[in-house]
Structure 1
């Protein structure tokens, strides 16, 4: 882009002449990313495309999405798509919109055989994510925030601006004469992230100084490294604990808690428990079958899965098996191991 002052760092490193798709809402962050990727891509021989998702949650959302697409076509991006999605209700409005958006982006990437989908999250977004995770009592995985790269549903998602402040993206748009769209949802106090953005994080900055945003993001990066290493150790440990379709309690009991709970979490996800619904309380109840065994009943996991302990083995049962045996288990009530916990 002539006169572009957008960051010149390479957004990602797909194969030469590969296609990268930019996810662009029209906001300052993703608009700056699209402009920067077009500028860099032209010099590195990439094909650069753009996908904008219409969530249909606001009046005129379809028209705004078409405006973003028209801008991208004018800049020579190809392919350019507007994808309309239906947002469900699972997990609340923010999570449902995010799930619908990522599914649409992944589908577009697969259809076009894209090397990567680029996302416009910034250092400020990372700091907000860490604060939200801290408030929700998340463990190290939640406090690790968003990764720079993640392979999901067979697609590589990358966040090249994750170490840049949000203000740089606005400055880049202003320097290039680009007019970003400010999503009113980003300032709606009904949403937790909006409240963190408008109130909590500014209060921390006012109290502790400007460096708090970078420090929160840095903390996420350090925790991500530790978590990745522990996850590798836990995956190897899980393999040693497997016995048929179950897990050997004696082998699990020998593991340090940090590895044992990670192994149980991964095992539960492998059984089919949705990761977005698999909470600490589920893993805690599985762990109790190993470390606090008093003959208690089964652990109930998301997706209608039950896990029982018989002698030295944790054995899973799926919904179909439970139905065939006539068992009734409260998969949505939050009941685990015979007691009800608040979700």
Structure 2
């Protein structure tokens, strides 16, 4: 009887994450360079390993990028160890040390800003088409809950986008937003990869840690399993709605917006003719697209009052600009 070769079975976790990465890489140019953010934790380590495997078939060059925030003792050693793991997978590694400047939004926001700026610099140096980030479905659920707590409206509940392009064409891609965090740990175990456990992930000074360790488990126990998936689905649906809504708004803006000296102006009567939800979205989009300003709900409503409740009030100070009623137009001017 002839011998039958047996093909070794692939771990379900490895198969799931490789498929997610393969799908994410498909729109990118073949033989392009890509950067994968690597902290050394299970999520990013699984992403790097899966990307190293999938990129070979498309002739892509993969570089892992490890950012040392310098916020804890031994961070340089942890960064070096993460880079070494990437090199055992056959890909080049880059390490950048960044200075985290404390800002009004707290250390988490400051570290994130520094990290993304460093990743962008590495991508520019490598002439990369995309930066891959290891956020999972659980991260998405945490982001939605944090957005809900901020009360910034539907935009804050859309979570993280799976794909986003910068003005210069650099793509920011999150292949694993449909993958559970436990799956990345199973991937590492099946691949004989030992992840690094960041002590900050257990430090309850950080709001995200408190959501992860306290809030989500309580919701799961009191409301039943599946909360994280439900939150991620909510984010996806809201993003789809927002994309359609934003397209409608951009078409409307073309007819009602004019460039003004040092700024831009919008027809007050055209704004007044729209429902409040559309009017407020137009105001936010104009401020963001022209000045990079992200308006709060309160700021948006104050600008809207220049349209609906005009009684001669003066200019309204906004981040990076001001808004004032001038005749029949709302004029946004750079500050």
TM over 0.5: yes
Correspondence for 1:267: 286
Correspondence for 1:306: 322
The separation in 2 between residues aligned to 1:153 and 1:4, in whole angstroms, is 39
User: 1:265-287: per-residue Cα shift (whole Å, max 9, x none)?
Assistant: 11112342443xx3222212111
Per-residue deviation at 1:4?
Answer: 7.2
The separation in 1 between residues aligned to 2:307 and 2:89, in whole angstroms, is 59
Correspondence for 2:201: 186
Q: SS state of the match for residue 8, structure 1?
A: helix
Aligned length: 314
- Decide whether aligned partners of structure 1 residues 295 and 273 sit closer, same or farther in structure 2, where only a CA change above 3 A counts: farther
Per-residue deviation at 1:61?
Answer: 0.8
User: 1:113-136: per-residue Cα shift (whole Å, max 9, x none)?
Assistant: 111111000000111111111111
Q: Can you give the 5+ residue segments of structure 2 that lack an aligned partner in the other structure? A: 1-7
CA RMSD of aligned residues (A): 1.7
Residue range with higher mean Cα deviation, 292-301 or 197-206: 292-301
Match of 2:232 among 209, 217, 234: 217
TM-score under structure 1 normalisation? Answer: 0.87
The separation in 2 between residues aligned to 1:138 and 1:114, in whole angstroms, is 33
Correspondence for 2:3: none
Correspondence for 1:56: 70
CA contact (8 A) 1:233 1:259 kept: no
Match of 2:187 among 149, 172, 179: 172
The separation in 2 between residues aligned to 1:30 and 1:50, in whole angstroms, is 10
Correspondence for 1:290: 307
2:104 equivalent to 1:85: no
Match of 1:234 among 224, 249, 255: 249
Correspondence for 2:331: 315
CA contact (8 A) 1:4 1:175 kept: no
The separation in 1 between residues aligned to 2:296 and 2:25, in whole angstroms, is 32
Q: Can you give the 5+ residue segments of structure 1 that lack an aligned partner in the other structure? A: 320-343
2:42 equivalent to 1:28: yes
The separation in 1 between residues aligned to 2:255 and 2:99, in whole angstroms, is 42
TM-score under structure 2 normalisation? Answer: 0.89
Correspondence for 1:334: none
Correspondence for 1:8: 18
The separation in 2 between residues aligned to 1:95 and 1:70, in whole angstroms, is 28
Residue range with higher mean Cα deviation, 260-269 or 197-206: 260-269
Correspondence for 2:5: none
The separation in 1 between residues aligned to 2:32 and 2:216, in whole angstroms, is 38
Residue range with higher mean Cα deviation, 278-287 or 188-197: 278-287
Per-residue deviation at 1:65?
Answer: 0.7
The separation in 2 between residues aligned to 1:152 and 1:281, in whole angstroms, is 28
CA contact (8 A) 1:240 1:251 kept: no
User: 1:74-95: per-residue Cα shift (whole Å, max 9, x none)?
Assistant: 22113x2101111112221111
User: 1:147-186: per-residue Cα shift (whole Å, max 9, x none)?
Assistant: 1101135321111110010000011111112111111221
The separation in 1 between residues aligned to 2:18 and 2:36, in whole angstroms, is 16
Correspondence for 1:338: none
- Decide whether aligned partners of structure 1 residues 66 and 106 sit closer, same or farther in structure 2, where only a CA change above 3 A counts: same
